[in-house]
Structure 1
Amino acid sequence: MSRWGAPPRIDPDDDLKAADELLDKANALLRRHKGADLPEPDEFVALDDDELPVLTDIVDPSELEGLELAEPVPAAATAESVPIAASELAEQLVSLDTAISREVENWFATELPQLLSRELDKLADRLQVEALAHLRATLLPTLSEHISRSLETPPAKRR
């Protein structure tokens, strides 16, 4: 029997919405700073594949038309206020990836044992109920038959 109550209900849609909002903000930031003090594609520093996450989503430009973004900042003002080099952006992405990995590992280390314990408690309870029901259905008739036979036949006389 588990001492813990039911786990709190976490709506995965809330997490997805929060992640989508964060990605939208990051995309808006990248669009604002596009071309602001960034090197040409030939000038990018080659990095190992392990250092950068791979982005696989392809966004159709027609999907972006309905989005409301912050007021666009002129390119001259952007270059002066927040110059971001490709290496700095790569470092930020690596740092973010590391932080996310660390949080996922911490979650598994703290939450997974509790989840497993609850599920194993449920399994043990269910197994006990099913084993008892199976015992009553199969073993009890056999034992009853042995008892009734022993009561019907008189015990052998001693010499």
Structure 2
Amino acid sequence: MLHSHDDNQFVKADIFIATAAVADYRTEEAAPQKIKKTQDAMTLSLVKNPDILATISLAHPELFVVGFAAETQDVERYARGKLVAKDLDMIACNDVSRVDIGFASDDNAMQVFFSERYERDAVTLEKTSKDKIAEQLASIIGQAIGQRKDS
């Protein structure tokens, strides 16, 4: 949990990879017991969850921070926006509106973008197995570590 993370763990780390996002929103109040089906409709109030990735990135600028973005439109624009807003070193994104890759497929394809702190701007990973995509991402991260312009 964000509120109970141990900062000492980050001192030992070189890389922080946020592979999955928690829900963006949660219910404002948790029901103390099961909500019985007594009405045809129900309204829930939602509040934003903390942005763990942005919090870690800003609190630990020494880490190489990698985020992921699953988008359905304007993939590059939204991914680059997250890269800057969350002060990431790298973001890997895919178009989850495609039916041939992503959640319901054994394959994936990704676009990878780097912060302006790096010489490299972008890499395209063509459609292949998710295992191969993971290997390619690990290789890209390995190549990028230590290549910051301001290092």
TM-score range, shorter chain: under 0.3
More strand by share: 2
More helix by share: 1
State the TM-score, normalizing by the size of structure 2.
0.23
State the TM-score, normalizing by the size of structure 1.
0.22
Which protein is bigger by CA-based radius of gyration? 1
